[in-house]
Structure 1
Amino acid sequence: MTISPLQKARYEYEPKLPGMLRKGVANIAVKEGEPTQSVADQEAIKALFPNTYGKNEITFVEGESTAKPEKQVVGVILSGGQAPGGHNVISGLYDALKAVNPENVLLGFKGGPSGLIEDDFVEFDDAFINEYRNTGGFDIIGSGRTKLETEEQFNIVADVAKKHGMNAIVIIGGDDSNT
């Protein structure tokens, strides 16, 4: 494949990293703080968010990594409409996983949330990621607007996660995507 000078420059670009990430993810520790609560309507909000309300505040600080050393399998989806930078978010996630442990795996579920339901995915590797790095798009695995709302859908996703031994699923999208 012949690439243009612009494509070559894009592939060579090194995004600026926040200070916390400049020394690598192996130097980031998790600091657990006090339990959180809303300033008002505590019971109503607790009822709306029973799995997260009142959990301890989590802060990332410089220090020895608290990440588990064993192999991690992480799923990722793009959700919602087109947006710039999705490729680099996935590239950064891939790079961070591999920096912590080269055996870590990133699975990209195709077409957004429906990819989780249909178990339609790609396992990222260096060659795949490098084709999309710095290309600015949101279509590396396709996006979608499927909403996961029913108990049946959640059970299917849980089964898919268990089947692949996933430790986490990362949702890249807007506020509606993360409901």
Structure 2
Amino acid sequence: MSQFRIAVIVGSLRKDSFNKKLAQALVRLMPAEFSAEFSRIDDLPLYNQDDDANQAEPVKRLKREIAAAQGVLFVTAEYNRSIPGVLKNALDHASRPYGQSAWAGKPAGVIGVSVGAIGTALAQQHLRNVLAYLDMPTLGQPEAFIHAKDGLFDADGNIGAGSRDFVQGWLNRYLDWVRKQNA
């Protein structure tokens, strides 16, 4: 039986997103004491402060999912050297209205994959800056900038043999971080 629920947020909407595949593979590597719920961000309206007093149902759903989780795993793409707009929109929505942030205190993990040699390094740095402001204790080390190359995923969508130990090691450190933050 799972003791810890992880909200998984993928910062890419693309149907065949490498980051979605990475998130799914990470969830399959989690031990039984963890469960994961993928939180949708594709149906959120654009953030408008005028709506804070009457948030849309998809925003309320996202906030409920974050509130019910013991940790949040961000698996983000990198667009134009930063985080995707859809991810920033989700961060803004669930942090509002002021003083009612669903993110505060939730232990975060940040990882991503890209076809570029530096992976999602700059997007992750930008995301870490936002998470610090949102009062999310974020795993600092190890960092994981995954390069999407042949063999990263096997035929079943699992992490391939050449990257499995590294990715599992990162995931183990993040899950230990969640345990520690929830002790």
Range class of TM-score, shorter chain: 0.3 to 0.5
Greater helix fraction, Structure 1 or Structure 2: 2
TM-score normalised by length of structure 2: 0.34
Larger Rg: 1
Greater strand fraction, Structure 1 or Structure 2: 1
